[in-house]
Amino acid sequence: MSFRPRGANAASRPSSIVNSPARKNSRGVAAANDWTRKTYGKELDRLTAPERESALKAMEEGKAQFPGFTSTMFFNALLQITMEGFFADPIYGGNRHMASWRMIGYPGLPATYRQEIKTYFGKKYDKPPHSIADFS
């Protein structure tokens, strides 16, 4: 997403602040909510599951009109941060109970299974994953 500074003091602000991921995400969420309010009469998080799926599909396909950037850009950024949260170490607040790691068979913190790489090479790793928090 490309964002231009606005207002009298905008030129004096570092572009890293104006174009920070947090700012981009905030503008994307605001645009998504504006669009869903116009289209469905309520904000994105208040939509029913079928409505939300339809809205997200419209955003993914670029059919939702957002001011200053495409809905596809926002959808892709949202998908990226969702995946990062889902697959991150639980110590950062996502991937509750290491659910995604268990789902894909990821053992977690690499130092915990280093000695078993040869044993499990080409085989399913069936031991529970370990998070950074397990060693803190």
Model confidence pLDDT, tens digit, residues 21-50: 889 899 999 999 999 999 999 999 999 999
* Predicted local confidence at residue 5, as pLDDT: 41
* Predicted local confidence at residue 49, as pLDDT: 97
* Predicted local confidence at residue 17, as pLDDT: 52
Give 8's DSSP letter. Answer: T
Paired tokens of 66: 């957002």
Cα distance between residue 77 and residue 29, in whole Å: 11
pLDDT > 90: percent of the chain: 57
Cα distance between residue 72 and residue 56, in whole Å: 9
Q: Which SS3 state, helix, strand or coil, does residue 108 take?
A: strand
Across-strand partners of 54?
Answer: none
> Roughly what angle, to the nearest 10 degrees, separates helices 49-60 and 21-40?
120
Residue 14 has pLDDT above 70, yes or no: no
Residue predicted with more confidence, 117 or 128: 128
Determine if the pTM surpasses 0.85: no
Give the tens place of pLDDT for each residue, 59-97: 999 999 999 999 999 999 999 999 999 999 999 999 999
Which positions ≥6 away from 23 have C-beta within 8 Å? 3, 17
* Predicted local confidence at residue 18, as pLDDT: 58
Give counts: helices (H), strands (E), the chain.
Answer: 6, 0
Tally Cβ neighbours within 10 Å of residue 124: 6
Average pLDDT of span 2-8: 44
